[in-house]
Amino acid sequence: MQSDTKTPRAAGADAAPRHSTSRTGASWITDNAGLLATHLAVLLFGLVGLFAKVVALPAIILVLGRTFFSSAFLGAYLAFKKQRFALKTRGDYLLIAAAGVILAVHWTSFMQSIQVSTVAVGTLTLATFPLFSAVLEPILFHEKMRVSDIACALVMLAGVGFIVDDFSLDGTMAQGVLWGLLSAFTYALLSLANRRFSSGYPASLVSFYEQAIATAVLLPALFVFKPALSAFDIGMLAVMGVVFTAIAHTLFISGLRTVKVRTAGIITGLESVYGVVAAMLFLGEIPGIREIIGGAIILAVALYSTLASTRSS
């Protein structure tokens, strides 16, 4: 869930769902290809957190590399597809510029959360973004605030409490959770901004603008941190940006052509699971009992919220 592109209802040719009513052999193959693409995309999103541990660079530099290579790839992809780049109004340019800044904060805080704690803490606290959406969405879109959403948010907060074994700000778990909550908060803001764009623009175009703006915002970090980039670092940043961001984004959107909204939401919930399992296998990060309990609470509430929202839509 740490990618800005993972919204079930994207607009334009990129994301128009098509659901066939007949179960012919051809449609069965198409539907399963869509499921495979969606699962593969979420797996790639879930593995992004590993780069925060493998590449010895500050979080902000990691994100700068990610947005640079991803936006360059998306820009080339859109040019190849002969996509119109112009937005419709001046207000859209201002909003997407703000979204790009929020994206920079979102991805940086996510990577920072993992670097100061563990992949499990970073990915699981990010999964609490519905906690913030439950409060922000009714305010920004003038919708009725539902008691069930507030209840889910409070239960998620309790799940976060289980993860933290030391509430002192000197503790790495507490720091990781705070950075993770900032990442979740900014992801909620980003999702609400993308809700505004989803009815008028292809998701790939929105992602291109947001990531290009994030690149511009983060560029001064090169002069502040002056990182000594090795060939390995640049290669890892390119892989993270192209494969684990741009291509993963494209796969996810292509999957939405046949995968139902509810199914996509449930699959997206597996991102944290993929991240935790990958950290166990490749980094030897074994989550403690508190992280397991807290993570189970957070993921269960996220799953419930996804099912409830798709039933009511």
Per-residue pLDDT, 84: 93
Quick: pLDDT tens for 46-104.
999 999 999 999 999 999 999 999 999 999 999 999 999 999 999 999 999 999 999 99
Residue-level pLDDT at 169 = 65
Q: Which range in 67-81, 114-128, 165-179, 274-288 is most confidently predicted, on average pLDDT?
A: 67-81
* Residue 16 pLDDT exceeds 70: no
pLDDT digits (tens, 9 = 90+) for 104-136: 999 999 999 999 999 988 998 888 887 787 778
pLDDT on residue 312:
60
What pLDDT does 219 receive?
Answer: 97
For residue 62, give every residue at least 6 positions away whose Cβ sits within 8 Å of its Cβ, in sequence order, or none. Answer: 51, 52, 55, 111, 237, 240
CA trace torsion 126, 239, 198, 110 (10° rounding): 20
Please identify which residue in the block is written with the tokens 């993921």: 299
Rounded CA separation 183/128 (Å) = 9
pLDDT of residue 30: 55
**Max CA pair span of the chain:** 59
**Residue 283, CA distances (Å) to 49, 96, 118, 145, 151 in order:** 11, 36, 10, 41, 35
CA angle 262, 188, 275 (to 5 degrees): 70
- Taking alpha carbons only, the member of 34, 43, 39, 29 closest to residue 16 is 34
Hey, CA dihedral for 117, 236, 101, 227, is it positive or negative? positive
Give the chain's length: 313
Mean residue pLDDT across the chain = 83
User: What per-residue confidence (pLDDT) applies to 135?
Assistant: 79
Average pLDDT rounded to a whole number, residues 307-313: 62
Give the lowest-confidence range in 90-94, 229-233, 265-269: 265-269
User: Cβ distance 12 to 202 under 8 Å?
Assistant: yes
Mean pLDDT of 273-302: 88
* pLDDT over 90 percentage in the chain: 45
The partner residues of 202 in beta bridges, in order of sequence, read: 11
pLDDT in tens, 245-261: 999 988 887 776 777 75
Cα–Cα distance measured from residue 114 to residue 122, given in angstroms and rounded to the nearest whole number: 5
